[in-house]
Amino acid sequence: MSAPPDSELPPNITVASRMATFFRGGGILAPLITILVAFLAGGLVVLATGHNPIETYQAIFKGSGFNWFFPWLSEDDRIIAALNLQQTLILTTPLILTGLAVAFAFRCGLFNIGGQGQYILGSIFAVWVGSSFDGMPALLHVLVAMLAGVLAGAVWAGIAGLLKALAGTNEVISTIMLNWIAIWTGVWIFNLGSPLQNDNPDQVDVPVSNDIVEGAKLPVFWGDPQLQGLHIGIFIALAALVVFWVLLNRTTLGYEVRAVGFNPDAAEASGINVRRNYVMVMAICGAFAGLGGALDLLGWQFRIATNDIQTHTLAFFGIAVALLGRNTAIGTLLGALLFAGLLTGTSVRNLDPTVFEPQLATNLTYMIQGLVVLLISTDVLVVYLLRRRRRK
Amino acid sequence: MRRPLHLIALLAMVCSLFVAACGSEEEEPATGGNKTAEETPAKEAIKVGLVTDIGGLNDRSFNQLANEGLERAKAELGVETRVLISKANSDYVPNLSTLAQQQYDLVIGVGFLMADAMNTVAPKFPNTNFAIIDVDATTMKAKPTNVSGALFKENEAGYLVGYMAGLYLKDEGGGTASSVGGQKIPPVDAYIAGYQAGVQAANPEAKVVNGYSQKFDDPAPCKELALDHIAQGAKVVFQVAGGCGLGALDAAKEKGVQGIGVDADQAYLGDQIMTSALKKVDVAVYDEIKAVQDGSFKGGDNRLFDVKSGGVGIGETNEVGAKYADQIKAEQDKIASGELTDIPNTVQ
């Protein structure tokens, strides 16, 4: 990587760019310690509820399906592990993409909290295209539906970028506001009598979209396609990681993005159009998140109900994924795997209820997510203090 | 500047943690095997799994009742139970199929919202028995032969509480009867249609007002709707929205009007509860479990619960409601005897 020298602190303008500076000071060790401390703190809570933390973490690990990789597993256990792993990888897909939506913005010194709204916009457009135009050639239909989701997410985030570029609106505020607009637009659009409510005579009274038609569904390559097997979206998400890396490290745009991230004033002075970069970067972030929404709908959910839109929180995990992954491609992948495993492993159906009540365990996942975000903020502080001591 | 020794030591610690975790993972199957070996010979306990809908387990009505039926079966029939709570619509399929995969003898889906998922999952596991509340098993698209539907005549229960509300409004010298529904789905509408018919039958001059919150879990939107209805002159509020409807009954308490509970007997919520429209989901769940245990379970068919069989009815009354007990009893007998049959099922 051709990172500019980090011997001296550049003048820091935004929270995001300040955090980026300190991330570079921590290396690989800092995120590992962050996870370790988060898990230890989670373990203490488990202990306080009168359970055995080691057994609990083992049960969560088992519930995540990662034990599928162990060669000594019995045939019966392997079947269950395969199902669990499929669920984990299904969740990994949107987590990678919503993680990238945060990570890419971070590299430009922007904090994109709008992943949720961009994801929802992607879902809405994917379900609209995917459930109409029955009879379109299958491959074309999938591509068009995905593209619709990508563009919708890009435009949605682009609004925040545009506001930042033209009016200097803080993107944290505008993306949060756009989230709510997206949520309520989604609730309205699938509600009774609204444009995208289903036209199935059995379900006239249910506020849910039409089903994705067979031709627009992503192929399932592992497991039963009707019982939420693993769809090929995971490869699309992995490809997005490569795109992210190439874009950032091997293109002019990426160079400019990083330059703006390091120091917008210096970038401006050296002839980079900072405003244009803000819009571009936000649009690309939105494209990632929108793709995540599209893949979820075309890959395994196939329909979206108003209450799904209201209770959706996956995109917020994207923030923790990106922070933990230090806004790099490989880090985002690992972070997404970790949180997907935690979410599946602590779900009511996968966690062994004799070890730990799953109702509590889901909260454990939220707690670990919270701790990760909190601890990353603290290790920014730790690195900062270390640097100050060193300089004295 | 950097101290490599520390780094290595830390890495070693992290690695040893992982190794320790993996090592004990290896031993686990052994202990797990022992446990089941001890349990199985004890008695021929069947395994029953219950999947809640998105209302959650503590909705104090629908799902909670189903769970009570399950708990009763556990205590009286000695069955092994497990409950899976659904958080999103996309949870239904994996929740149902996970239980089937783990060889549960009976998997019960609670609620109309799960009909599609049941239709997908049940044909995949022909050796598992399934039961679903509020869905007609004979009209399911895939025509599964291993699903038993439990149907309730909510309109009959709705009619009885509506009749009481109508009588009350008559004594009050007029007013409006309000109903607060969750989503506009058939079981909810059957209650409301029966309720409105009951109000009109007892008091043709009474007005009715109805609204849907679109939610079954969050009390806030139901409370808002109920407050709105009360402001429009509603003197009775009937909630048909599970956990959301608790907000409507709360509004009734706040404004000093009569409230009517749904599904479970909700008299414990306070003095404002005139009565409750009962739907004995617990009985249905218990009956299905019992049927599987004694071998009389019949898939591809329905069990019907109505006023006649005691599967639906009216709950405890407060002081106001008690005044009309005799008149309500008379209506109840009319329904049970088949004299009164044309209670509507859908809201106009």
B268-278 tens-digit pLDDT = 898 899 999 99
Region B127-143: what's the mean pLDDT? Answer: 90
DSSP letter string, A22-91? HHHHHTTHHHHHHHHHHHHHHHHHHHHTTS-HHHHHHHHHHHHTGGGG-TT--HHHHHHHHHHHHHHHHH
What does the pLDDT read at residue A367? 83
Domains B47-152+282-305 and B154-279+318-337 share a fold: yes
Q: Using CB atoms, which residue from B21, B54, B121 is nearest to A307?
A: B54
What does the pLDDT read at residue B88? 85
CB B311 within 8 A of CB B157: no
Q: Does the structure show a pLDDT above 90 at A50? A: no
Q: Does the structure show a pLDDT above 50 at A92? A: yes
Inspect the interface and report whether the beta carbons of B24 and A58 lie closer than 8 Å.
yes
Reduced to 3 states, what is the DSSP secondary structure of residue B84? strand
Structure-model confidence comparison of residues A36 and A294, the more confident one:
A294
Interface test with B, best of A35, A206, A224, A351 (most B CBs within 10 A): A206
Q: Which residue of B has its CA nearest to A84?
A: B98
Region B183-204: what's the mean pLDDT? Answer: 91
What does the pLDDT read at residue A16? 65
What does the pLDDT read at residue A383? 63
CA atoms of B52 and B71, how far apart (whole Å) = 14
Region A55-68: what's the mean pLDDT? Answer: 92
CA atoms of B343 and B155, how far apart (whole Å) = 7
Estimate the share of chain B in helix, then strand, then coil, as percent rounded to the nearest 5. 50, 20, 30
Q: Does the structure show a pLDDT above 70 at A381? A: no
Question: What are phi and psi for residue B152, nearest 5 degrees?
Answer: -120, 145
CA atoms of B199 and B177, how far apart (whole Å) = 7
Tally of CB atoms within 10 A around B167: 21
Smallest CA-to-CA distance from A334 within A223, A230, A238 is with A238
CA distance B57 to chain A (A): 10
What does the pLDDT read at residue A308? 87
Q: Does the structure show a pLDDT above 80 at B314? A: yes
CA atoms of A286 and A277, how far apart (whole Å) = 14
So where are chain B's domains?
47-152+282-305, 154-279+318-337
Tokens of B280: 């004995």
Interface test with B, best of A58, A227, A297 (most B CBs within 10 A): A227
Question: How does pLDDT run across B202-226, given as a tens digit for each residue?
Answer: 999 899 999 998 888 788 999 999 9
Q: Does the structure show a pLDDT above 90 at B10? A: no
Q: Which residue of B has its CA nearest to A66?
A: B22
Question: How does pLDDT run across B250-267, given as a tens digit for each residue?
Answer: 999 999 999 999 988 998
Q: Does the structure show a pLDDT above 70 at B30? A: no
Inspect the interface and report whether the beta carbons of A205 and B215 lie closer than 8 Å.
no
What does the pLDDT read at residue B15? 42
Region B299-322: what's the mean pLDDT? Answer: 89
Q: Using CB atoms, which residue from A29, A72, A87 is nearest to B7?
A: A29
CA distance B95 to chain A (A): 6
Interface test with A, best of B89, B124, B240, B348 (most A CBs within 10 A): B89
Task: Output the pTM of the full model.
Answer: 0.81
Q: Does the structure show a pLDDT above 80 at B242? A: yes
Q: Which residue of B has its CA nearest to A301?
A: B90
Please return the burial class of A212, using the count of CB atoms within 10 Å of its CB with bins 0-12, 13-18 and 19+.
buried
Q: Are strands B301-305 and B258-263 parallel, antiparallel or unpaired?
A: unpaired
pLDDT band at B53 (very low <50, low <70, confident <90, very high): confident
Lowest mean pLDDT among A286-300, A344-358, B295-309: A344-358
What does the pLDDT read at residue B31? 37
CA distance B183 to chain A (A): 7
Assigned fold of B47-152+282-305: Rossmann fold (3.40.50)
What does the pLDDT read at residue A373? 80
Q: Does the structure show a pLDDT above 80 at A204? A: no
CA atoms of B336 and B330, how far apart (whole Å) = 10
Give the A-side interface with B, CB within 8 Å.
29, 32-33, 36, 54, 57-58, 61-62, 67, 70, 72, 74, 77, 79-80, 83, 87, 187, 191-192, 205-208, 224, 226-228, 300-301, 303, 305-308, 311-312, 348-350, 353, 359, 390
- Please determine, looking at this structure, whether the domain spanning A15-391 carries the CATH number 3.30.1460: no
CA atoms of B131 and B114, how far apart (whole Å) = 11
Estimate the share of chain A in helix, then strand, then coil, as percent rounded to the nearest 5. 75, 0, 25
Q: Which residue of B has its CA nearest to A353?
A: B82
Inspect the interface and report whether the beta carbons of B26 and A72 lie closer than 8 Å.
yes
Number of A–B residue contacts, CB under 8 Å? 90
Contacts of A305 in chain B (CB under 8 A): 89
Tally of CB atoms within 10 A around A336: 31
CB A371 within 8 A of CB A41: yes
Inspect the interface and report whether the beta carbons of A301 and B90 lie closer than 8 Å.
yes
Region A115-121: what's the mean pLDDT? Answer: 96
Sign of CA dihedral A189, A190, A193, A197: positive
Region B6-16: what's the mean pLDDT? Answer: 46
Which residue's entry shows tokens 């011997």? A7
Q: Using CB atoms, which residue from B85, B95, B189 is nearest to A359?
A: B85
pLDDT band at B1 (very low <50, low <70, confident <90, very high): very low
- Please determine, looking at this structure, whether the domain spanning B154-279+318-337 carries the CATH number 3.40.50.2300: yes
Question: How does pLDDT run across A134-172, given as a tens digit for each residue?
Answer: 888 999 999 999 999 999 999 999 999 999 999 999 999
Inspect the interface and report whether the beta carbons of B183 and A207 lie closer than 8 Å.
yes
Contacts of A228 in chain B (CB under 8 A): 90, 93-94
Q: Using CB atoms, which residue from B87, B183, B212 is nearest to A311?
A: B87
Which residue's entry shows tokens 């089903």? A211
Structure-model confidence comparison of residues A159 and B58, the more confident one:
A159
CA distance B10 to chain A (A): 9
CA atoms of B331 and A255, how far apart (whole Å) = 80
Mean pLDDT of chain A: 87
CB B208 within 8 A of CB B176: yes
Inspect the interface and report whether the beta carbons of B101 and A80 lie closer than 8 Å.
yes
Tell me, what DSSP letter sits at residue A326?
T
State which amino acid sits at residue A171. Answer: E
Q: Which run of H or of E encompasses A103?
A: helix A75-107
Q: Does the structure show a pLDDT above 50 at B13? A: no
DSSP strands (E only) in chain B: 47-51, 80-84, 106-109, 129-133, 147-152, 176-181, 207-212, 234-240, 258-263, 273-279, 301-305, 312-314
Q: Can you state the angle between helices A252-262 and A233-250, rounded to 10 degrees?
A: 70
Give me the sheet containing B47-51, strands edge to edge: B80-84, B47-51, B106-109, B129-133, B147-152, B301-305
So where are chain A's domains?
15-391
Inspect the interface and report whether the beta carbons of A228 and B93 lie closer than 8 Å.
yes
CA atoms of B186 and B113, how far apart (whole Å) = 10
Q: Does the structure show a pLDDT above 90 at A318? A: yes
CA distance A293 to chain B (A): 14
Mean pLDDT of chain B: 84
Interface test with B, best of A205, A310, A346 (most B CBs within 10 A): A205
C-alpha to C-alpha distances, B196 to A206, A371, B190, B210, nearest whole angstrom: 22, 52, 10, 9
Q: Using CB atoms, which residue from A70, A79, A192 is nearest to B184?
A: A192
Q: Using CB atoms, which residue from B101, B102, B183 is nearest to A206?
A: B183
What does the pLDDT read at residue A387? 64
Smallest CA-to-CA distance from A155 within A325, A289, A338, A286 is with A286
Contacts of A308 in chain B (CB under 8 A): 88-90
What does the pLDDT read at residue A14? 60
Region B322-326: what's the mean pLDDT? Answer: 90
Q: Using CB atoms, which residue from A311, A312, A349 is nearest to B95?
A: A349
C-alpha to C-alpha distances, B222 to B182, B201, B226, B242, B243, nearest whole angstrom: 8, 26, 6, 10, 9
